[in-house]
């Protein structure tokens, strides 16, 4: 290494890309874990093909994994990769358009066969014409070198080729001065029942590292210093993992068991998988036969006194909507997690979108208001899940927690809080049978007084029909009007409990940015960039609770000449804001199945400022 130049960098964005069978998600996740252990801040973007087992070598079969890591805080997976590891022509073609000028391309030349070039739509080999001019291209015979390294392995040739992703990973470990120890340990644990596979993967990883160390094509390798973080224990966590842990923590803090009733659906299934590992923490997971059974079982568990949740994405919300209405009518605490994906219908099941906001706000029959909270990053999913449980019990209401494919599958370092430092979740049940009325309310929160079924002397009736305070079915028009207004007022009272978002910037100015959910990171970077250009009349409010809308938004929104709402949809929060506040807000909307880019938001802000 001393013979080669080491260059210090502040941040790097790498994208691994290849066929869905090339192990790019595994490669990316191993690089991520190693980078987290190295002390860098990071955010990842796994980019799965929308088609299961698409034909090898095709453009729509490309699987990608992007990670931005830095010695400074990171808020997005990066707009433009600095490095592209392309395992075949299709991966190169799909991702070349987003690679920055003079970016590094490490390419597996063995895959650039006539057949693969044709499948990727190339008329000529891009490695032999001038189409890659302006990039730093490092051609490597990754497949050949992997086979050579494994020539003494007893594995079949097809199985040897599966180790080529570790060869590529070894190259990037050397290039960015990463330790291989964590990956070596992972290989030994993961494949311990197959020692020949352990040996092959370790050999391929070392071979890639040694190739990068010894070859003349790499004159430089790079070092990124540790990020400055507050002292404590961290773990690398995906949004779905953080969501699951948040619910477990809430149930423990409430001294209750946790019940999940769910039907597997992309991209929410990992919450079910994660929670199923924690039976020793009082977690019960039920994989139902369909979406309706999933929420029905969860509502029953809530009635019985559990912390109850159900998880899904947009198509599942459509099926769960009748039970969501029943949860509103019975006023039982329940959290419905919607990990949004590309739609409509099956749409783009592995891609991200923010297009279910209007669905969760209004997609039920009758007047059925439900509080809605939206997580803004993978680690924030923990806090959003915990807070959703707090509100569900404090106000005896179902709550929708919104995530999306980007933050659910993406990862970042998460500071582990101590369980005793988390806010208490106090739950009070009615215990006095004298004159018990199931729909009598707490005057402060309007939460109804819940009694656990089977409590002696507390027999009562709840259900989907309208009731009066006594729990008797009521068709009285005035009572129905009163109950409708009480349920709506109760949702608005959530504002009295949750933390109000603060305005970032001056309280008056030329432009107010209003964002929600996973656009947080891109807007954060865009605001920083705009202010570095001296444009200091732009302010920002990021919404955590979207129903009810925060009081601070109403306080400030009329103080600005213009309002801009960036979303990964056609303008859903935009419609709500225009209707609620009667302002001529404008949207910045891209619905590509990908997170918004920082530079696009910067352009939109500058366009608004120019008029």
Q: How many C-beta neighbours within 10 Å does residue 150 have?
A: 24
**Alpha-carbon dihedral sign for residues 259, 263, 264, 265:** negative
**For the sheet containing 258-262, what is the strand order?**
283-287, 258-262, 307-312, 334-340, 398-404, 372-374, 545-547
3 band by pLDDT with thresholds 50, 70 and 90: low
Kindly state which CATH superfamily the domain 5-224 is placed in: Pyruvate-ferredoxin oxidoreductase, PFOR, domain III (3.40.920.10)
Q: Which fold has domain 234-421?
A: Rossmann fold (3.40.50)
Secondary structure (3-state) at 263: coil
- Over the stretch 228-269, which tens digit does the pLDDT of each residue have? 988 999 999 999 999 999 999 999 999 999 999 999 999 999
Q: Which of 590, 611, 591 is nearest to 600 (CA)?
A: 590
pLDDT of residue 183: 98
Q: Which of 496, 448, 426, 350 is nearest to 49 (CA)?
A: 350
55 band by pLDDT with thresholds 50, 70 and 90: confident
Tokens describing residue 337: 């997690």
- Over the stretch 513-548, which tens digit does the pLDDT of each residue have? 999 999 999 999 999 999 999 999 999 999 999 999
Q: How many C-beta neighbours within 10 Å does residue 454 have?
A: 9
Decide: 107 and 99 in contact? Cβ < 8 Å. no
509-610 and 234-421 share a CATH fold? yes
- What rounded mean pLDDT belongs to the chain? 96
Tokens describing residue 543: 């919404």
Q: How would DSSP label each residue in 429-494?
A: -----TT--TT-B-TTT--B----TT-TT------SS-B-TTS-B---HHHHHHHHHHHHHHHHGG
- Over the stretch 322-347, which tens digit does the pLDDT of each residue have? 999 999 999 999 999 999 999 999 99
- Over the stretch 364-391, which tens digit does the pLDDT of each residue have? 999 999 999 999 999 999 999 999 999 9
Query: Is residue 38 pLDDT above 70, yes or no?
Result: yes
Q: How far apart are CA 56 and CA 114, in angstroms?
A: 14
- Over the stretch 390-418, which tens digit does the pLDDT of each residue have? 999 999 999 999 999 999 999 999 999 99
Query: Is residue 52 pLDDT above 80, yes or no?
Result: no
**Sequence spans of domains, the chain:** 5-224, 234-421, 509-610
Q: Which of 166, 33, 29 is nearest to 87 (CA)?
A: 166
- Over the stretch 15-37, which tens digit does the pLDDT of each residue have? 999 998 899 999 999 999 999 99
- Over the stretch 201-224, which tens digit does the pLDDT of each residue have? 999 999 999 999 998 888 888 999
Architecture of domain 509-610: 3-Layer(aba) Sandwich (3.40)
359 band by pLDDT with thresholds 50, 70 and 90: very high
Q: How far apart are CA 460 and CA 318, in angstroms?
A: 30
Q: How far apart are CA 545 and CA 148, in angstroms?
A: 56
**Alpha-carbon dihedral sign for residues 245, 249, 251, 256:** positive
Q: Which of 5, 26, 22, 30 is nearest to 178 (CA)?
A: 30
Decide: 39 and 234 in contact? Cβ < 8 Å. no
5 band by pLDDT with thresholds 50, 70 and 90: confident
């Amino acid at each position: 290494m001393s013979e080669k130049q080491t260059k210090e960098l502040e941040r790097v964005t790498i994208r691994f890309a290849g066929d869905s069978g090339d192990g790019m998600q595994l490669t990316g996740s191993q690089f991520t874990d190693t980078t987290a252990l190295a002390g860098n801040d990071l955010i990842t973007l796994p980019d799965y093909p929308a088609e299961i087992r698409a034909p090898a070598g095709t453009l729509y079969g490309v699987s990608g994994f992007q990670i931005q890591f830095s010695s400074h805080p990171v808020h997005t997976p990066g707009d433009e990769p600095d490095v592209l590891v392309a395992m075949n022509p299709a991966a190169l073609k799909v991702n070349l358009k987003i690679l920055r000028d003079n970016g590094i391309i490490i390419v597996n030349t063995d895959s650039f066969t006539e057949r693969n070039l044709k499948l990727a739509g190339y008329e000529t080999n891009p490695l032999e014409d001038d189409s890659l001019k302006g990039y730093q291209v490092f051609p490597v015979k990754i497949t050949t070198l992997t086979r050579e390294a494994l020539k003494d392995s007893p594995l079949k040739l097809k199985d040897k080729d599966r180790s080529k992703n570790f060869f590529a990973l070894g190259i990037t470990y050397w290039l960015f001065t990463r330790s291989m120890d964590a990956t070596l340990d992972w290989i030994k644990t993961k494949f311990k029942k197959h020692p020949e596979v352990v040996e092959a993967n370790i050999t391929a990883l070392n071979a890639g590292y040694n190739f990068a160390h010894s070859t003349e094509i790499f004159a430089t390798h790079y070092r990124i210093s540790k990020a400055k973080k507050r002292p404590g224990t961290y773990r690398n966590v995906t949004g779905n993992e953080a969501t699951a842990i948040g619910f477990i923590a809430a149930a423990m803090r409430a001294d209750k068991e946790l019940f999940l009733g769910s039907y597997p659906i992309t991209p929410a299934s990992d919450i079910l998988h994660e929670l199923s590992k924690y039976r020793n923490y009082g977690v019960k997971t039920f994989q139902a036969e369909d979406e309706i059974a999933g929420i029905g079982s969860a509502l029953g568990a809530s009635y019985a006194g559990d912390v109850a949740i159900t998880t899904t994405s947009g198509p599942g919300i459509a099926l769960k909507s009748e039970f969501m209405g029943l949860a509103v009518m019975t006023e039982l605490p329940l959290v419905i997690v919607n990990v949004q994906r590309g739609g409509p219908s099956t749409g783009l099941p592995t891609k991200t979108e923010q297009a279910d906001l209007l669905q969760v706000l209004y997609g039920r029959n009758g007047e059925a208001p439900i509080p809605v909270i939206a997580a803004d990053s993978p680690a924030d999913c923990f806090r959003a899940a915990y807070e959703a449980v707090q509100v569900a019990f404090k106000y005896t209401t179902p709550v929708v927690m919104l995530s999306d494919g980007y933050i659910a599958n993406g990862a970042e370092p998460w500071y582990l809080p101590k369980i005793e430092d988390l806010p208490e979740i106090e739950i009070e049940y009615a215990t006095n049978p004298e004159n018990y009325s199931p729909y009598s309310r707490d005057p402060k929160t309007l939460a109804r007084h819940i009694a656990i079924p089977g409590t002696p002397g507390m027999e009562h009736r709840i259900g989907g029909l309208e009731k009066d305070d006594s729990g008797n079915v009521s068709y009285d028009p005035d009572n129905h009007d009163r109950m409708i207004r009480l349920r709506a007022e109760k949702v608005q009272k959530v504002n009295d409990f949750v933390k109000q978002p603060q305005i970032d910037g001056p309280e008056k100015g030329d432009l107010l940015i209003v964002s929600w959910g996973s656009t947080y990171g891109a807007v954060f970077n865009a605001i920083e960039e705009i202010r570095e250009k001296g444009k200091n009349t732009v302010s920002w409010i990021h919404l955590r609770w979207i129903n009810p809308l925060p009081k601070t938004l109403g306080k400030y929104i009329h103080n600005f000449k213009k309002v801009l709402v960036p979303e990964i949809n056609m303008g859903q929060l935009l419609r709500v804001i225009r209707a609620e506040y009667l302002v001529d807000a404008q949207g910045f909307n891209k619905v590509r199945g990908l997170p918004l880019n920082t530079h696009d938001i910067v352009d939109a802000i500058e366009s608004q400022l120019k008029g």
